[in-house]
Structure 1
Amino acid sequence: MNIELVKCHGSGNDFFIIDEINHDYQFTEEQRVELSRAICNRDSELGSDGILFVLKSEVADGMMRMFNPDGSEASMCGNGLRCVARYVCELLDKEAAIIETMKANLKVNKEGDIFPKIPTYKVEISPVSFQLSDLPLQLDQPALLNEKIPQLTEEVDFFALAVPNPHLVAIVEKEQVESNLQKTISEYVNGPNELFPDGVNVSFVKPLKTNAIYVRTFERGVGFTNACGTAMSASSLVTCLAGINENGQEIQVYNNGGKVNCVVHEQDSSYSIDLIGNATYEYKVDLQIEWGAINEFTCSNKIEFTEEKRQYEKLQSHAIEFISEWL
């Protein structure tokens, strides 16, 4: 079987797009899991943080399904959604579109470049819930807003929220960013534990300057990642709740993969977040697989998007310099 892949990334969070709008691949659910485990494997010829399956939708311009390297399916992926937004908008020759995801139909649109010559898209991150049952987080209380979880640590306070992926967010100091605390907590809550039966994304957030923050995320099913779109969105919202930033104002969010901008919106006690950042193509390639021996896949006809990669490297350099100056 031959499958066309597009390697892309949002903030260094990299994926393969598989187009099921123009191709009748007819994958079973088991085959989606097999594909994810095989081609996301960093020890293989390919490797990525996930697969973005782009499908037809009866209620939107396209549908996104995102699978992690371990074969699990994520309910949302903000960095991946930007890549899908670009793919669908270019496919349909549109500036704006609606993308169906597991929990919501979300607005996306092309934006002015976040950095010179970098394709930039704005995507809606919603719904937002603070109900612990929506993560789920098993504590004897309805919500957790800037409070300690004694079972984890007495050193930091946490916010718990679903956007709709589950997130545990702490606003920290430089010393905590540089310590092993986040790794220890993240590995515990994503293994067998009494708090998070389905695991959780864990982010440490360090305010840098006015309207600028640094976010590092341990992503469930992945581990430490260059960036996580829903985590950057959740972290931006948390800084507004903590009075560090304000709703309606653009927040620059720096991460190990680069930067994005976020804007938090509140209406009738409900929140949504605009996530604005790059959607960069790295290469196209044809994948040849046999389902009985999927790990023995081969690749051919690789086409590099060299200029796009070079431009994003400039943004990364800028982000690294900014983080080094302010962290």
Structure 2
Amino acid sequence: MVIDLIKCHGSGNDFLMMDEMGGNYGFTEGSRANLAKNLCNRKTSLGADGILYILNSETADARMRVFNSDGSEASMCGNGLRCVARYVCEKLGIEEAIIETMKADLQVKKAANIFPGVPTYQVEISPVSFRVEDLPLNIKQKELIQGVIPALSEELTFTALAVPNPHLITIVDDTHLKSNLQKELSEGVNAPNELFPDGVNVSFIKLIEKNKIYVRTYERGVGFTNACGTAMSASSLVTTLIGENDVEDIIEVYNNGGMVRCIVHKDHKDYTIDLIGNATYLYKVTLDSETNAVVEKHDTIEEESYQKLEEHAKSVLRG
């Protein structure tokens, strides 16, 4: 049996995407995890941050499951959802769709290109929760919004939220970004620990100017990535909470893989975030399912346009 895959990325956060809507590969839960670990290994295989499985849904146009490169399953992936949104919309010949994820059915749609020649999709990031039990984070208080966790740092203030992936976010300066603090802190809360028993995504934000931020994220189950969609969305929300940005405004979020746009919405006490960015196909590949050997591979030319977006993002960060 052969397996057809698309190598794709959102903001440089790259995935292998597999369509199971038209046929059943017969994967077990164990085989899904093993396939992610094997195929995402950058030293011995195609390499990626994770695998996106696209399945039929009883409640939506399609269902997305996300397995990280270590074989763990993520409840959501914003950058991956954009890629799935593109695939499903193009497959079904529509411009808007509903995608079922682990925690919610989310709206997605084709959007105006974020940069010339770059296919762009807008996806809903929700639900949002500030309850520490939803991450979970083991502290005595019910929420942590711009608060201190002495066991992690005496000088940084953190906000913890689930979107629904768990995130720990802090605003820092260049000194913190250039240090090893984020790496050390992130590795600690993603190893066996009492604070975050299930681990957590850790993001450092640098404020550039009004409606422009830089976000670097250590992803649970992956490590440092070029970008994390839910982290950029959550980070945008945090900047509105402290008054640096405003709800309903477009926030440009820069990352090591490029840039996206986020819009934070508030309905009474509830928040949702629109994440708008690229959904770029790198190549299509067919593998032998028994050996994982490449049978056939076809490259696209989409990355050429995306590289121009990357250069633009770098120029903004250079100032």
TM-score per shorter chain, which class? over 0.9
Which blocks of at least 5 consecutive residues in structure 2 are unaligned?
none
Which blocks of at least 5 consecutive residues in structure 1 are unaligned?
291-295
Which residue number corresponds to residue 102 of structure 1? Answer: 102
One-letter code of the match for 1:299?
Answer: V
Q: Following the alignment from structure 1 to structure 2, what is the Cα–Cα distance between the partners of residues 219 and 24?
A: 30
Q: Following the alignment from structure 2 to structure 1, what is the Cα–Cα distance between the partners of residues 79 and 244?
A: 24
Which residue number corresponds to residue 167 of structure 1? Answer: 167
SS of equivalent residue, structure 2 residue 102: coil
CA RMSD across the alignment: 0.7
Instruction: Report how far residue 179 of structure 1 moved.
Output: 1.0
Q: Is the aligned partner of 1:37 residue 2:31?
A: no
Alignment deviations for residues 74-111 of structure 1 (CA, whole Å, 9 cap, x no partner): 00000000000000000000000000000000000000
Instruction: Report how far residue 26 of structure 1 moved.
Output: 2.1
Q: How does 1:81-120 map to 2 (within 5 A)?
A: 81-120=81-120
Which residue number corresponds to residue 265 of structure 1? Answer: 265
Which residue number corresponds to residue 308 of structure 2? Answer: 314
SS of equivalent residue, structure 1 residue 3: strand
Alignment deviations for residues 254-311 of structure 1 (CA, whole Å, 9 cap, x no partner): 0000000000000020000000000000000001122xxxxx42002100012x0100
SS of equivalent residue, structure 1 residue 303: strand
Which residue number corresponds to residue 238 of structure 1? Answer: 238
One-letter code of the match for 2:141?
Answer: Q
Which residue number corresponds to residue 293 of structure 1? Answer: none
SS of equivalent residue, structure 1 residue 15: strand
Q: How does 1:120-131 map to 2 (within 5 A)?
A: 120-131=120-131
Determine if contact 2:38/2:45 at 8 Å carries over to the other structure. no
Which residue number corresponds to residue 68 of structure 1? Answer: 68
SS of equivalent residue, structure 2 residue 157: strand
Alignment deviations for residues 210-251 of structure 1 (CA, whole Å, 9 cap, x no partner): 100000000000000000000000000000001100000000
Which residue number corresponds to residue 55 of structure 1? Answer: 55
- Report the more deviating stretch, 24-33 or 277-286: 24-33
Fraction of identical pairs, as percent: 61
Q: Following the alignment from structure 1 to structure 2, what is the Cα–Cα distance between the partners of residues 54 and 168?
A: 28
Q: Following the alignment from structure 2 to structure 1, what is the Cα–Cα distance between the partners of residues 292 and 78?
A: 29
Q: Following the alignment from structure 1 to structure 2, what is the Cα–Cα distance between the partners of residues 116 and 22?
A: 33
SS of equivalent residue, structure 2 residue 155: strand
One-letter code of the match for 1:83?
Answer: C
One-letter code of the match for 1:104?
Answer: A
Q: Following the alignment from structure 1 to structure 2, what is the Cα–Cα distance between the partners of residues 289 and 43?
A: 19
Alignment deviations for residues 26-79 of structure 1 (CA, whole Å, 9 cap, x no partner): 211111011000000011230000000000001100000000011000000000
Q: How does 1:202-221 map to 2 (within 5 A)?
A: 202-221=202-221
SS of equivalent residue, structure 2 residue 265: strand
Which residue number corresponds to residue 222 of structure 1? Answer: 222
Q: Following the alignment from structure 1 to structure 2, what is the Cα–Cα distance between the partners of residues 317 and 44?
A: 30
Q: Following the alignment from structure 1 to structure 2, what is the Cα–Cα distance between the partners of residues 146 and 297?
A: 46
Alignment deviations for residues 167-223 of structure 1 (CA, whole Å, 9 cap, x no partner): 000011111111111111100000011100000000000010110000000000000
One-letter code of the match for 2:142?
Answer: P
SS of equivalent residue, structure 2 residue 146: strand
Q: How does 1:127-146 map to 2 (within 5 A)?
A: 127-146=127-146
SS of equivalent residue, structure 1 residue 176: helix
Q: Following the alignment from structure 1 to structure 2, what is the Cα–Cα distance between the partners of residues 184 and 157?
A: 16
Which residue number corresponds to residue 300 of structure 1? Answer: 295
SS of equivalent residue, structure 1 residue 102: coil
SS of equivalent residue, structure 1 residue 154: coil
Alignment deviations for residues 114-139 of structure 1 (CA, whole Å, 9 cap, x no partner): 00011000000000000000000000
| Matched positions, count | 319
